[in-house]
Amino acid sequence: MLRLSSPVTDLPRIGDAKASVLRKLNITHVRDFLFTFPRKYDDFSEATPIAKLEVGKQQTVQAKVKSVKNSYGFYGRRRVLRVFVELEDPTGTLFVTWYNLRFLAQQLPVGREIYVAGMVEINKIGKIAMRSPAFEFVGSESDRVHTAAITPVYSETHGVTSRFIRYQVKQLLPLIQAVPEYLPKDIIKRHKLIGIHKALSAVHFPKDKKELAAAERRLRFDELFFLQLAALVRRRQQKEADAPAIPIPKNMESLAHDLPFKLTGAQKEALREILKDMSRPHPMNRLLQGDVGSGKSAVALLAARLVLKAGHKVLYLAPTEILARQQYEAFSQALDVETKLLVGAMKERDKQSVKKLLKNTEVVCIIGTHALLQEDVSSQNVGLVIVDEQHRFGVAQRKALTQVNDGDAPHLLSMTATPIPRTLNLTVYGDLDVSVLNELPPGRKPITTKIITPSAREEAIVHVLEELHQGRQGFVVAPLIEESEKLQLKSAKQTYEEMKKWLPGIAVGLVHGQLKSEEKETVMRNFAAGAIQLLVSTAVVEVGVNIPNATMMVIEGAERFGLAQLHQFRGRIGRGAYPSTCYLFPTTEEAARSKRLKIIEQSIDGFKIAEEDLKLRGPGEVYGLQQSGFSDMKVASLLDYDMIKMARGEAEKILKKDPELTKYPILQKKVAQKNAITHFE
């Protein structure tokens, strides 16, 4: 007897080969067919008279068979059976062709009434026609699967069509009754949600658009509710763990007494929140978000000072070697204790020396890249872990850093310069406390952004040259290291040669990911010292590079980058006392008119840009969530603030009454599964 847990090979006509193909769609068991939701729908619910069919549209026709004829033809060397069928209704005649359906002529006797649903076109003799449409016999409405209804369209792969999935789901619908209703009755009643059985049935085969909307609303709520429940459970578990309590200084200003600038109000508030968290004997799990140049590194430095003073280690994880080296230089000068660097390009002897420091109880600050996450890296007495540009690291990698100690967990401070919309703050980062730096340090000059069409490049280059002659510096970013035959884009190497030719007498440097660490370090040191006036680079300068004298940013192939990335590039300039300009160089006149580039030209508001980027590219690409369990939501959207807020409110109510979910065993199991997928994959 079939069960929801039965393997798909228990179904008729599904052998090992078909099961292997279905696995690509994450369909391995019977229940997976029912929980594989349509990606869209074709509305064939209303039959269209033949005379009113529109070429180029998907439509349904109800008509009688007028004639049927088989004919063989050749496509290359392949012999193909063609079945030509004339259909008629009171308004006209439709010509339909099917291929290689040997017994179709016997199933369609003259006079038989059928539905056909497909793309309307004009055939070779100028008649209204369809090729290989779905068809079903006119009869009981409950038998409709492929036509004359709102028809589901699923994700497909080679050997698995939507028609095949529709057929399987239709046969398995009775098993929906075995799915338990996992939402509490009061939630269903309070928000007027339909039951899970009706929702699952209607999301595949809705009677009308109203029923489909109700089904999707229920399933959207479910997905977001479990995200919220899982995040809040993780949050509670984190709060219950042990961590070193860091004493708060009586005068917070004393921490920053030797900084060459005054803290902004936002920095002071964020620091107060961080210190309050770290003063508790439970691990802080806080996200510090702020636009480029808002001073996140200064806040992290002051938090590190306090933890080091209390006798604990600090680990700082940076996404690139360039940023790690830059922060190493800055922290070395600002901290009273020993500061070490750990990056992949170091000599093995030097790496082992740093790893030994990690294993003992010595108070030290270690700044590194992914090298800090290697399996042979273990540590003791870590009081604070700082993760810079946290979306660049996978969830499993970030979690590894919170388990560095044999005993107490460290406090965790994640930082991002990619502003996070409120919807993601409630879902993806629902287990974090959030501090926001929403003001820039005083004295910062505004940055002007201009889209430069290919025909207007020379004028922009002249302005760059004028700025360089006045002693300023600049960046040129290219999307590729070397030329590509497939992509008609300028490479960094090609741009470097071009800039040397166009700007005689100007010191031009080149940096990219394929350079050896020593070469990159030399180039960046020369750029910081002013020996290099114009730096040509790939995206390795996206984060953290701080050159106050840089006033120009030129971005080649600007349409190839996401909005958040363009905003990050732009944040490399405007850090000093001089007005700055960011030039966007699209590859074509058409690309220069793109909506995305207009957004970056017209706005310097990082939060607005992040919202637009989220709409255009999705959270997986913008925030690095591909491996975190958030990018595989089937119905819900991480942009649906109202539904997210509603789901969070219900999750909070349940956990307030029953923190361990002991009265809700199904919810308890689902939360455990969600947290396993989301955080330990």
Q: Tell me how far CA of residue 595 lies from CA of 419, 456, 479, 537, 585, in angstroms.
A: 20, 19, 19, 25, 15
3-state per-residue secondary structure call for 409-464: CCEEEEEECCCCCHHHHHCCCCCCEEEEECCCCCCCCCEEEEECCHHHHHHHHHHH
The one-letter code for the residue type at 271 is L
Q: CA–CA separation, 238 vs 241, rounded Å?
A: 5
Which one is predicted more confidently, 373 or 51? 51
Domain locations along the chain: 46-148, 252-279+295-416, 447-603
DSSP 154-191: ---BTTB-HHHHHHHHHHHGGGGGGS---S-HHHHHHT
Q: CA–CA separation, 195 vs 222, rounded Å?
A: 11
CATH number of 46-148: 2.40.50.140
Residue where the block lists tokens 């799990």: 285
pLDDT of residue 396: 55
413-427, 515-529, 600-614, 649-663, range with the lowest pLDDT = 413-427
The one-letter code for the residue type at 198 is K
CATH topology for 252-279+295-416? Answer: Rossmann fold (3.40.50)
**pLDDT level of residue 680 (50, 70, 90 thresholds):** very low
**pLDDT level of residue 662 (50, 70, 90 thresholds):** very high
Largest Cα separation within the chain, whole Å, is: 94
pLDDT of residue 141: 59
How many CB atoms neighbour CB 608 within 10 A? 16
475 Cβ contact list (under 8 Å, min separation 6): 534, 535, 536, 537, 541, 550, 552, 553, 554, 569, 572, 573
pLDDT tens-digit map of 151-160: 999 999 988 9
Q: CA–CA separation, 222 vs 37, rounded Å?
A: 14
Domain 447-603 has CATH 3.40.50.300: yes
**Is the model's pLDDT at 619 over the cut of 80?**
no
Spatial contact of 12 and 18, defined as CB atoms under 8 Å apart: no
How many CB atoms neighbour CB 435 within 10 A? 23
Q: CA–CA separation, 340 vs 33, rounded Å?
A: 53
Mean pLDDT of the chain: 86
The C-alpha angle 508, 513, 518, rounded to 5 degrees, equals: 75
Between strands 285-290 and 313-317, the pairing is unpaired
pLDDT tens-digit map of 142-176: 567 888 789 999 999 988 999 999 999 999 999 99
93-97, 212-216, 471-475, 669-673, range with the lowest pLDDT = 669-673
Count how many Cα atoms sit within 13 Å of the Cα of residue 213 in the half-sphere of its side chain: 4
pLDDT of residue 44: 87
Spatial contact of 579 and 528, defined as CB atoms under 8 Å apart: no
Same topology, domains 252-279+295-416 and 447-603? Answer is yes
Q: CA–CA separation, 548 vs 540, rounded Å?
A: 18
Q: CA–CA separation, 570 vs 553, rounded Å?
A: 7
Spatial contact of 270 and 246, defined as CB atoms under 8 Å apart: no
pLDDT tens-digit map of 450-503: 999 998 988 899 999 999 999 999 999 998 876 554 455 678 898 999 999 989
pLDDT of residue 678: 43
Q: CA–CA separation, 96 vs 67, rounded Å?
A: 11
596 Cβ contact list (under 8 Å, min separation 6): 559, 563, 612, 616
Residue 404, token pair as written in the block: 């560095």
The one-letter code for the residue type at 357 is L
How many CB atoms neighbour CB 635 within 10 A? 18
Q: Tell me how far CA of residue 215 lies from CA of 106, 174, 286, 542, in angstroms.
A: 39, 17, 36, 43
Task: Name the DSSP class of 510.
Answer: E
Q: CA–CA separation, 481 vs 484, rounded Å?
A: 9
Alpha carbon dihedral 535, 536, 537, 538, in 10-degree steps, equals 160
312-321, 412-421, 580-589, range with the lowest pLDDT = 412-421
Which run of H or E residues covers position 131?
Answer: strand 128-131
Q: CA–CA separation, 314 vs 502, rounded Å?
A: 46
528 Cβ contact list (under 8 Å, min separation 6): 547
